[in-house]
Amino acid sequence: MSDTTSNQMWGGRFAAGPDAIMEAINASIGFDKRLAAQDIAGSRAHAAMLAATGIVEPNDAEAMREGLLTVLSEIEGGEFAFSPALEDIHMNVEARLKEIMGPAAGRLHTARSRNDQVATDFKLWVRDQLDAAAEGLEALIRALLEQAEAGADWVMPGFTHLQTAQPVTWGHHMMAYVEMFGRDLSRVRDARKRMNECPLGSAALAGTGFPIDRDMTAEALGFDRPTANSLDAVSDRDFALEFLSVASISAMHLSRFAEELVIWSSAQFRFVTLSDRFSTGSSIMPQKKNPDAAELIRAKIGRIFGANVALMTVMKGLPLAYSKDMQEDKEQVFDAADNWLLSLAAMQGMVGDMTANRAALETAAASGFSTATDLADWLVRELNLPFRDAHHVTGSLVAKAEAQGCDLPDLPLAEMQSVHDGITEAVFDVLGVHNSVASRVSYGGTAPQRVREQIARWKELLP
Ligand code: ARG
């Protein structure tokens, strides 16, 4: 390296260093330093492999592996001076290694490129996030199972169009979210399995002539196998995109539940009371207890889904193999991961702490003619009416009750018989909300016994 102003890693053919603006747009060290631990793990595996295959001297490889640990502890201790002139984490680490062990550090980059290096580092990072997300989802599911178990037979209104539809059980409602987060968990596991192939050794794009052992590095880094096509391996960001799509769907589920918590904790509903630990106050209105965590979770989908769209847009239209566009992958994924994991933790905290107000749920369940369908079903079963006719008769009864300002169970029998003379005293059995939910025993239905079976199934399924 004759010219001291050109880049010490690639400046051999350059007579001048980059313009400040060039450096500003090019450098990724400001954010990819988050990949330091993964970068060093990848380099240590690579160094061990280079020695095992006789590509570098064992002494040099040992010095690299030791020196890399020193670099890691410097970074973790906050003593490392990151340099934008060295662009990214890969070159910052390597340059420091050279200071520590001397010029033999330059042999570390034999048979590899930053292209396979960054693909490997980033995969390792995303894999860790998937593992953390799996834990977060499992913890949230456990919190929901506890809520479901406590109130497996509590009744509440079930809604369609946010209008009272039919009574359901609190346990059933909680278990609906267990199903959603359970699907997220299964998507996390699928994505992890599919991504777990090691790009290291693909080199710049075409592989290498050095006699490397890709199985060895793949195994050392916990991958199932090496990637099978070097062009694909250095230009693939599907793993990041899958992470973002799994995160987007999960954040959408979180957002839906958050919306329910916002509604349920309002003075008008009072279905749940959120704990002080997961609420905030107002600086002007002393009576306020706001569901800020739920609102923020509801909003997080914006940036997470935004990251998904952003990276899809970065990747579309890129020719094989690596293009610098791909450096724009990281910040989006970092931000989405941070916010998804935080949302999962906050939701778990809120669900774990919240109190369902059984009495308010039951009162609401019994209002709004919620058992009208039970009445129609009774007319079909007991009087053999075609369902359409039963629907019509019930509609007239609802109108009558509405006009009298009462609910269906409060309508006198004579009033009912004036609409259909076959109706008997026995009809009142099906108009109660507890009977209503207890009757819905179809598989997947809201009956407490069905809900308890699902709780037991999920407890078995969780690790
Ligand atoms: N900082 C780069 C990135 O994040 C590393 C790969 C650079 N490769 C290259 N051929 N310039 O994508």
Type of residue numbered 353: D
Neighbours of 319 (CB within 10 A): 6
What is residue 157's three-state secondary structure?
strand
pLDDT at residue 387, as a whole number: 96
Q: Give how far the C-alpha of residue 379 lies from the chain's centroid of Cα atoms, to the nearest Å.
A: 46
pLDDT tier, 353 (very low <50, low <70, confident <90, very high otherwise) = very high
Q: Report the C-alpha gap between 190 and 180 in whole angstroms.
A: 15
Q: How far apart are the first and last CA of the chain?
A: 56
In the set 83, 266, 282, 418, the catalytic residue is 282
The mean pLDDT value for 442-457 works out to 98
Q: Report the C-alpha gap between 338 and 141 in whole angstroms.
A: 20
pLDDT at residue 2, as a whole number: 40
290-324 pLDDT, tens digit per residue, is: 999 999 999 999 999 999 999 999 999 999 999 99
390-413 pLDDT, tens digit per residue, is: 999 999 999 999 999 999 999 999
Query: Is residue 262 scored above 50 in pLDDT?
Result: yes
Let me know: does 234 contact 113? Beta carbons within 8 Å. yes
Q: DSSP characters for 393-423?
A: HHHHHHHHHHHHT--GGGS-HHHHHHH-TT-
Cβ of residue 322 lying under 6 Å from some atom of ligand 1 = yes
Hey, whose CA ends up nearest to atom 4 of ligand 1? 327
pLDDT at residue 299, as a whole number: 98
Query: Is residue 356 scored above 70 in pLDDT?
Result: yes
Residue ranges of alpha helices (H) inside 53-113 are 58-76, 89-101
pLDDT at residue 361, as a whole number: 98
Query: Is residue 384 scored above 70 in pLDDT?
Result: yes
Tokens of 334: 């970092």
Query: Is residue 162 scored above 80 in pLDDT?
Result: yes
Q: Probe ligand 1: pick from 114, 230, 329, 334, max atoms within 8 Å of CB?
A: 114
Let me know: does 323 contact 230? Beta carbons within 8 Å. no
Cβ of residue 114 lying under 6 Å from some atom of ligand 1 = yes
What phi-psi label fits residue 282: left (phi over 0), alpha (psi between -120 and 50 degrees) or beta?
Answer: beta
Residue 46 designated active-site: no
The mean pLDDT value for 422-440 works out to 94
Query: Is residue 3 scored above 50 in pLDDT?
Result: no
Instruction: Return the closest-CA partner of residue 35 out of 109, 111, 117, 134.
Output: 117
49-72 pLDDT, tens digit per residue, is: 999 999 999 999 999 999 999 999
The mean pLDDT value for 199-221 works out to 98
pLDDT at residue 265, as a whole number: 96
Q: Report the C-alpha gap between 408 and 399 in whole angstroms.
A: 10
The mean pLDDT value for 225-240 works out to 98
Q: Report the C-alpha gap between 9 and 94 in whole angstroms.
A: 9
Neighbours of 98 (CB within 10 A): 17
pLDDT at residue 9, as a whole number: 81
24-33 pLDDT, tens digit per residue, is: 999 999 999 9
Q: Using the atom order of ligand 1, give the atom closest to the CA of residue 89.
A: 1
Q: Probe ligand 1: pick from 324, 328, 331, 332, max atoms within 8 Å of CB?
A: 324
Residue whose structure tokens are 């090691």:
198
63-120 pLDDT, tens digit per residue, is: 999 999 999 999 999 999 999 999 999 999 999 999 999 999 999 999 999 999 999 9
Instruction: Return the closest-CA partner of residue 453 out of 145, 155, 147, 184.
Output: 145
Q: Report the C-alpha gap between 34 and 126 in whole angstroms.
A: 11
Q: Report the C-alpha gap between 392 and 459 in whole angstroms.
A: 43
Residues contacting 296, CB < 8 A, separation 6+ = 343, 346
pLDDT tier, 284 (very low <50, low <70, confident <90, very high otherwise) = confident
pLDDT at residue 11, as a whole number: 84
For residue 118, how far is its CA from the centre of ligand 1 (angstroms)?
7
Q: Report the C-alpha gap between 266 and 270 in whole angstroms.
A: 6
pLDDT at residue 336, as a whole number: 98
Distances (CA, A) of 460 to 27, 142, 258, 454, 456: 49, 12, 27, 10, 6
Q: Report the C-alpha gap between 190 and 294 in whole angstroms.
A: 28
pLDDT tier, 1 (very low <50, low <70, confident <90, very high otherwise) = very low
The mean pLDDT value for 284-292 works out to 86
Hey, whose CA ends up nearest to atom 12 of ligand 1? 327
Backbone angles phi, psi at 160, to 5 degrees: -130, 145
Residue whose structure tokens are 């706001």:
290
The mean pLDDT value for 410-434 works out to 94
Q: Report the C-alpha gap between 436 and 150 in whole angstroms.
A: 20
Hey, whose CA ends up nearest to atom 2 of ligand 1? 327
Q: Probe ligand 1: pick from 118, 125, 126, 230, max atoms within 8 Å of CB?
A: 118
CA atoms within 13 A on the CB side of 149: 12
